[in-house]
């Protein structure tokens, strides 16, 4: 399947809109699982549902014209980033409308203690932006692992690194984010 995805990405890069649509049909279950994962920690009456999140991400992905798609991991990372942006935009709109502190999302990938309150998605976005300035590789790793749902091995392949290195960097990135989020509020 990875070969199919890579060839479809190459065809899409050449302007083949049909390849883009076939690609989305192939990866839709993965995108849906990604959306479920990102919305898992949200409040029960959240107005944004996984299907709507996937559809909005697809609309944004299909509007990207000059992306040099490299492989499946690159595509999933971009989809995860777009979903993150959609959730942050949604939280900011809700926060501006109600001034209630914004949307909440849990960070099970960061292994917060169970008694900790969920993390504000806007605070998470800000922490990731700071991490990206300090260490772009660790920020990319977080996107691939947490938001993209990739395994250690898949992340290592996508980053051209060893699984052992990815494990060490993942631990360091989680610790950095936990500290950044703990001291932010």
Q: And the tokens for 162?
A: 């060893």
| pLDDT tens per residue, range 50-66 | 888 888 888 888 777 67
pLDDT at 185 over 70: no
Q: Which domain covers residue 161, as residue numbers?
A: 2-184
Structurally, the chain folds into a number of domains equal to 1
Helices and strands (H, E) in the chain, number of each type: 8, 2
HEC sequence for 19-32: HHHHHHHHHHHHHH
More confident residue, 34 or 113: 34
Helix (H, G, I), strand (E, B) or coil at 32: helix
| pLDDT tens per residue, range 6-60 | 888 888 888 888 888 888 888 888 888 888 877 776 666 667 788 888 888 888 8
Query: Are 127 and 184 contacting, i.e. CB atoms less than 8 angstroms apart?
Result: yes
Q: And the tokens for 137?
A: 């590789």
Of all residues in the chain, the percent with pLDDT exceeding 90 is: 17
Q: Give the position of tokens 């091995």.
A: 153
Name the E strands within the chain. 104-105, 119-120
What's the length of the chain?
A: 185
């Amino acid at each position: 399947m990875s070969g199919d995805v890579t060839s479809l990405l190459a065809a899409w890069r050449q302007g083949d809109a049909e390849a883009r649509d076939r690609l989305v049909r192939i990866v839709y279950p993965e995108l849906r699982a990604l959306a479920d994962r990102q919305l898992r920690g949200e409040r029960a009456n959240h107005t944004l549902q996984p299907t709507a999140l996937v559809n909005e991400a697809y609309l944004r992905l299909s509007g990207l014209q000059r992306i040099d798609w490299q492989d499946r991991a690159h595509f999933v990372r971009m989809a995860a980033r777009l979903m993150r942006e959609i959730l942050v935009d949604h939280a900011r709109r809700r926060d501006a409308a109600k001034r209630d502190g914004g949307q909440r999302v849990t960070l099970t990938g960061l292994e917060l203690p169970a008694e900790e309150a969920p993390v504000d998605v806007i605070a998470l976005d800000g922490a990731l932006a700071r991490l990206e300035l300090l260490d772009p590789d660790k920020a990319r790793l977080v996107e691939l692992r947490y938001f993209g749902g990739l395994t250690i091995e898949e992340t290592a392949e996508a980053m051209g690194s060893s699984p052992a290195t990815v494990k060490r960097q993942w631990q360091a990135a989680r610790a950095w984010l936990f500290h950044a989020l703990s001291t932010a509020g």
